[in-house]
């Protein structure tokens, strides 16, 4: 049943004074200007240029033109009363070749973005890697090449020294399960590699790089708040049959546990996924310790739940997803089920790791087919989705689970990876032909919600 806005009663003050509110974006999805001011080519520039890889033949060449429009968009963030802005740094804009010579124009650009945020009273939160690997490094093997640990650490050090005097909150990586799985196993995201021979080393090197990057940040910026983000989906078995229950456990290990548990010192979930033992082929002495880091916070990013059943024909995992469009449930434009309790279950699940000090929702949102009518976008479904998810987060908080903040995905409609410009997730509508911005009804609602005074 569709959630009605009037059914949801929620207020900012219920979350407490210290709860963090924000909005999230990513460089590749918003900046455009992909080949100016010395920026190098990213794997997504290369991938999008290949026929049939992106829906409708779209590409990120212009996107939202945030590179040139950053002041206008930060002004809109301020107008919407959003106090925290999570955005990413483009690695090939800082290091066009992935390593070696620094592009000063890239440094200068992000200094201007950070300074303008501060001028407007908006706190910048930086993500260091949001999937735009320099193509020059992919040619050398990308995440399958162990040298990437050093390449990434050097890039992190440059950013820490350039921006760390003003940026206090850092996220090392965004959703490693997605950029390794979709990019190095299924091949549906850049760089388009497939198979275990690519996926397993990419997993291991991504975690080693994430930890090495965090240690680099800690060494340069000892007072910084250092975190990283993980995608997650609430997993349920299709039936009470033991085969479906075990299939759901395996899917949970792959989707939700594969990256967080090694970081917490728990190792890879090999009991549920024996194929992960083959990661040993890519391990060196000391790796087990170098997979661990004591992060100040963990960001989790949840949009939906998945229903899983046993599948004899799915290699390695013997599990398959029962597609939401076959389950007679409400869907988003991504064909994801609208299921707000998923976020409650994920907060509860990650609270099961006592090693996690602080937990934020660093992405949550929904894409719907928005329409402009009389210069307005009345996106009631998105507003209802956000409200219902906040209600579930508040439920978790009231039950004593630690949850310290919420960032909406996303500020503006943008380039949504392989789906191109079709799915619209933004609080702000963008006409990609004219770059006109229209604040949607959901954006106005978030503004009013954040305007509520917090009293004790």
Active-site residue set: 175, 363
Can you tell me which residue has the tokens 């949970």? Answer: 252
Distance CA(168)–CA(224), nearest Å, equals: 5
Tally Cβ neighbours within 10 Å of residue 283.
Answer: 14
Structure tokens at 45: 């520039």
CA-based angle 403:266:203, to the nearest 5? 90
DSSP structure string for 126-149: EEEESS--BHHHHTTTGGGSTTHH
Query: What is the C-alpha end-to-end distance of the chain, expressed in Å?
Result: 36
Token reading at 173: 């990586």
109's tokens: 């650009």
Give the H/E segment covering residue 301: strand 297-310
Structure-derived torsion over alpha carbons of residues 229, 230, 231, 234, reported in degrees to the nearest 10: -120
Structure tokens that stand for 387 in this block: 């409200």
Distance CA 63, CA 39 (A): 15
Q: How far is CA 311 from the centre of its chain?
A: 29
- Spatial neighbors of 213 by CB under 8 A, at least 6 apart, are 128, 129, 152, 153, 156, 172, 173
> If we measure between CA atoms, which residue out of 172, 164, 171, 162 comes closest to residue 222?
164
What is the spatial distance between Cα 192 and Cα 186, in angstroms, rounded to a whole number? Answer: 7
């Amino acid at each position: 049943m569709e959630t009605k806005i009037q059914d949801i009663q929620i207020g900012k003050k219920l979350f407490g004074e210290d709860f963090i509110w924000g909005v999230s974006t990513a460089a590749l999805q918003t900046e455009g200007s992909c080949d100016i001011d010395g920026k190098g080519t990213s794997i997504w520039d290369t991938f999008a240029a290949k026929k049939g890889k992106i829906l409708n033949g779209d590409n990120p060449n212009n996107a939202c033109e945030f590179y040139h429009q950053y002041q206008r968009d930060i002004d809109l963030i301020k107008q919407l009363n959003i106090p925290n802005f999570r955005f990413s740094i483009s690695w090939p804009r800082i290091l066009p070749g992935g390593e070696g010579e620094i592009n000063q124009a890239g440094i200068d650009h992000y200094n201007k973005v950070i300074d303008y945020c501060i001028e407007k009273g908006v706190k910048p939160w930086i993500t260091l890697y949001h999937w735009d690997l320099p193509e020059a490094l992919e040619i050398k093997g990308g995440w399958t090449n162990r040298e990437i640990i050093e390449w990434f650490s050097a890039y992190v050090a440059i950013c820490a020294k350039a921006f760390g005097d003003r940026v206090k909150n850092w996220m090392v990586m965004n959703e490693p399960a997605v950029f390794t799985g979709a990019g190095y196993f299924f091949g549906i995201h850049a760089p388009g590699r497939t198979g275990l021979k690519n996926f397993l080393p990419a997993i291991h090197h991504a975690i080693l790089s994430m930890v090495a990057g965090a240690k680099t940040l800690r060494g340069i910026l000892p007072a910084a708040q250092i975190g990283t983000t993980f995608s997650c989906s609430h997993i349920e078995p299709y039936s009470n049959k033991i085969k479906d229950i075990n299939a759901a456990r395996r899917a949970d290990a792959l989707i939700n546990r594969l990256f967080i548990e090694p970081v917490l010192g728990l190792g890879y979930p090999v009991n549920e996924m024996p194929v992960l033992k083959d990661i040993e082929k890519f391990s060196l002495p000391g790796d087990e310790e170098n997979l661990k880091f004591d992060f100040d916070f963990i960001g989790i990013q949840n949009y939906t739940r998945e229903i899983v059943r046993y599948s004899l024909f799915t290699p390695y995992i013997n599990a398959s997803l029962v597609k939401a469009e076959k389950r007679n449930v409400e869907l988003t434009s991504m064909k994801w089920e609208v299921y707000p309790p998923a976020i409650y279950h994920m907060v509860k699940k990650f609270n099961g790791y006592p090693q996690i000090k602080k937990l934020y929702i660093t992405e949550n949102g929904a894409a719907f087919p928005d329409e402009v009518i009389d210069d307005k976008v009345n996106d009631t479904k998105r507003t209802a989705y956000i409200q219902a998810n906040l209600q579930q987060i508040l439920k978790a908080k009231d039950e004593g689970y630690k949850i310290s903040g919420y960032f909406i995905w996303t500020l503006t409609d943008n380039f949504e990876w392989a789906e191109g410009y079709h799915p619209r997730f933004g609080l702000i509508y963008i006409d990609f032909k004219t770059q006109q911005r229209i604040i949607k009804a959901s954006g106005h609602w978030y503004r009013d919600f954040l305007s509520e005074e917090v009293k004790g």
